[in-house]
Amino acid sequence: MSDMQIVNVELPERSYPIYIGKGLLDNAELLRSHVKGKQVAIVTNDTIAPLYLDKVKAAFSGYTLNQIILPDGEVHKTMGTASLIFDQLLQNRHNRSTTLIALGGGVVGDITGFTAACYQRGVNFIQLPTTLLAQVDSSVGGKTGVNHPMGKNMIGAFYQPQAVIADTATLDSLPQRELASGFAEVLKYGLIADSEFLEWIEKNHSAVLAKDPDALTYAIRKSCENKASVVAQDERESGLRAILNLGHTFGHAIETFTGYREWLHGEAVAVGMVMAADMSCRLGWITSKHAQLVRNLVEKSGLPSIPPANLLPEHFMELMAVDKKVLDGRLRLVLLKKLGEAVINSDFSSSALNETLAAGDLLCRQNTST
């Protein structure tokens, strides 16, 4: 398609393209081009299936095709749901040449990638992300997995897709709350590694949230370019890639505390980024003006900026203790050395963390009392 843009994720063994454009799910040739064999299983959920499943199925006429429709929601991102996918693959005799197609948001993409990594020790899969969050973040980079009641994404694998095909037309049907949730990840890329992009976000966040086609496409492409660059340098998160988790340690604690039911991922990350900026300010790395800028951008985007009620500082500490970034008993946090530059740090002042948690708790109490 003439307006299609391509970002490449350059890896030693499994490089792949990210296609970005409007109407890509109508491009049967593009969809088929990344399927190696003649078996296909489309994994989606009961929200997305009525909207786009028939369109994707039409591209695979003549293939052995199965559809697996999951219930919608983060609460279903579990080993039990993964087992349902394995059951369907085995019952329909999918072999090692099969391709799994993830049609949906981050939950569908994560769980499909995880099952692809495990089924017969690894089969091909393609990401067809249908939410802003999935298009800018979760579909790119090969992180796959499921949640556990004790912690988010604690069971998973690094497993790269054959391709990511991001049809921006799917965002037309995306509810505003889901759009804002995805925008949190867009903002993250500006904060961690791209000050010029952050300046663009300050000026254009309203256009993105209004679903302006040009602004959306630019935000998706720049986010993918930033993530692809980081993943190319550190595919399995041995160091640098952890900067992509700005706000996520705080955010995952919120999601776990609320049982993966009440908060969207991007909403929890938004609060986490505000807390990370607050702590970075308390450490003397960024100014209070810059910390306030982060909070203002979050709030202007319609995202929460304070933790949920009843999530006390001691609860935060307990939940963060089982985060994947804990190493040798030390909590590592992604913080801001300056706007546009993140660092991974485990040698921080515990008083700064305690003050940030206490400040969040105070704001929460003030908010609930008004």
Active site residues: 121, 143, 185, 227, 237, 241, 245, 248, 252, 265
DSSP states along 56-122? HHHTTTTSEEEEEEEPPSGGG-SHHHHHHHHHHHHHTT--TT-EEEEEESHHHHHHHHHHHHHGGG-
Contact indicator for 273, 188 with CB cutoff of 8 Å: yes
- CA–CA gap between residue 97 and residue 112 (Å, rounded): 16
Contact indicator for 84, 51 with CB cutoff of 8 Å: no
- CA–CA gap between residue 164 and residue 98 (Å, rounded): 17
3-state secondary structure 150-179: CEEEEEEEECCCCCEEEEHHHHHHCCHHHH
Output phi, psi for 124, to 5 deg.
Answer: -70, 150
Neighbours of 1 (CB within 10 A): 12
